[in-house]
């Protein structure tokens, strides 16, 4: 991928995929009649956010908050549309999206790691490590235990939800999203055949980011005290944005060196985690991902196309 090639991001949804460019975001969702429905959202570039996104170690927190805000609207669209028969759109507008569907969808793309899960996966391992303090005293052993528990909880959580049929399909769409981006970055024509030949793993994935927060947290926690318990608790909460900010920079760095033979292995831990959060997609899932990506390109070339799509 050349420096001039635009960078695209994506998000797996319920029976669909969202792709985001510099100024626009487009979601494609497979309907019950096998048709594809679209949703467009133009990015609102707030001056303050744009300034903060230029500051290293701060931009990661801003990017995550921005992603959560934009992503939730695409999640809501997907969860309210994919089970609604064509012609019954008015019912989707009147009914609230399923809380369970929304929660599960958010969990897949990692937003829950900040809104809810980040606190759970940060504080629960701390209490678990504290419980074993009589047998494993000392700052070093406590931080090691805490990190081991955190990683174990993350892996167990992802494995369990991956067993559910709904999440398995979302993980397949996640794989389709990565394959499309890999195909695009390889400079190949974006066809089902070419896309399916690509890897379902990608260095910029949010799954890698989540794992990096565990690794970064392990080192950052050595800089602050672990006793007494209330001080440890306060520092863990206060350091959440710090860990997020550093992890974002690590994610960006591993992506930049992914083609350097000696350094590309730095991103491998995140890729290994993606073996849990992505699954090989079926051809019809790849078709949806391609449709979303192509429609985004249409909108970017001709913004008037967005008027024909569902949008706010």
Tokens coding 269 = 């831990």
| Host domain of residue 123 | 9-311
Domain assignment present for residue 297? The answer is: yes
Domain contains 3:
no
The number of distinct structural domains making up the chain is 1
Flag whether 175 is in a domain: yes
SS3 call for 33: coil
Which DSSP state fits 84?
S
Residue 2 lies in a domain: no
Domain presence at residue 35 = yes
33 is a domain residue: yes
* Coil vs helix vs strand at 26: strand
3-class SS at 12?
Answer: strand
pTM summary value: 0.86
pLDDT in tens, 151-189: 999 999 999 999 999 999 999 999 999 999 999 999 999
Q: Establish if 4 belongs to a structural domain.
A: no
> Does residue 279 form part of some domain?
yes
- Tell me the pLDDT tens digit for each residue of 256-294: 999 998 899 999 999 999 999 999 999 999 999 999 999
Concatenated DSSP letters of 14-60: TTEEEEE-SSEEEEEEE-TTS-EEEEEEE----HHHHHHTTSTTTHH
């Amino acid at each position: 991928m050349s420096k001039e090639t635009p960078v695209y991001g994506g998000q797996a949804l319920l029976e669909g995929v969202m792709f985001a460019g510099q100024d626009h975001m487009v979601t494609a969702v497979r309907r019950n009649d096998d048709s594809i429905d679209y949703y467009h959202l133009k990015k609102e570039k707030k001056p303050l956010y744009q300034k903060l996104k230029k500051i290293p170690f701060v931009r990661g927190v801003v990017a995550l908050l921005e992603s959560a805000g934009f992503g939730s609207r695409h999640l809501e669209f997907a969860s309210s549309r994919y089970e609604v028969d064509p012609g019954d759109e008015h019912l989707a507008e009147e009914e609230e999206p399923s809380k369970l569907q929304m929660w599960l969808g958010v969990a897949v793309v990692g937003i829950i790691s900040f809104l809810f899960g980040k606190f759970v996966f940060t504080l629960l391992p701390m209490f678990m490590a504290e419980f074993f303090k009589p047998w494993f005293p000392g700052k070093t052993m406590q931080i090691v235990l805490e990190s081991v528990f955190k990683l174990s909880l993350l892996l167990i959580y992802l494995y369990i939800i991956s067993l559910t049929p709904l999440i398995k399909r979302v993980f397949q769409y996640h794989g389709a999203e990565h394959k499309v981006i890999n195909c695009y970055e390889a400079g190949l024509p974006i066809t089902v055949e070419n896309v399916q030949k690509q890897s379902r793993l990608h260095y910029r994935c949010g799954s890698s980011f989540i794992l990096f927060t565990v690794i970064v947290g392990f080192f950052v926690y050595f800089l602050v005290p672990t006793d007494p318990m209330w001080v440890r608790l306060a520092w863990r909460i206060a350091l959440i944005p710090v860990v997020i900010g550093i992890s974002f920079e690590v994610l960006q760095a591993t992506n930049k060196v992914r083609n350097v033979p000696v350094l590309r292995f730095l991103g491998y831990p995140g890729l290994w985690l993606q073996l849990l959060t992505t699954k090989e997609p079926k051809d019809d899932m790849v078709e949806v991902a391609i449709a979303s990506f192509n429609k985004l390109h249409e909108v970017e070339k001709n913004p008037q196309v967005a008027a024909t799509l569902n949008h706010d």
